[in-house]
Amino acid sequence: MSLLVTGVAGFIGAAVAELWLNRGEEVVGLDNLNSYYDPVLKRARLDRLQRQSGFRFYQLDLENSEGISKLFAIELPDRVVHLAAQAGVRYSLENPLAYVNSNVVGFLSILEGCRHHGIVHLVYASSSSVYGGNQQLPFSEQHAVNHPVSLYAATKKANELMAHTYSHLYGLAATGLRFFTVYGPWGRPDMAPMLFARAILAGEPIRVFNQGRMKRDFTYIDDIVEGVVRCLDKPATAAAAFDPLAPDQATAAVSHRLFNIGNSEPVPLLRFITVLEQALGRKALQHLEPMQPGDVESTAADTSALEEWVGFAPCTSLEEGVERFAAWYQNWVQYNATLVL
Which residues form the catalytic set? 152
Start-to-end CA distance of the chain, whole Å, equals 36
Residue 187 CA: distances (Å) to CA of 5, 9, 31, 147, 202: 17, 11, 16, 29, 19
Pairing of strands 215-216, 267-268: antiparallel
d(CA 14, CA 20): 10
Contact 263, 222 (CB under 8 A): no
Backbone φ and ψ of 215, nearest 5°: -130, 140
DSSP reduced 3-state for 325: helix
d(CA 279, CA 327): 8
* Planar angle of CA 222, 24, 46, nearest 5 degrees: 60
All residues at 6 or more sequence positions from 193 whose CB lies less than 8 Å from its CB, including other chains: 183, 187, 276, 322, 325
d(CA 311, CA 301): 16
Backbone φ and ψ of 68, nearest 5°: -65, -40
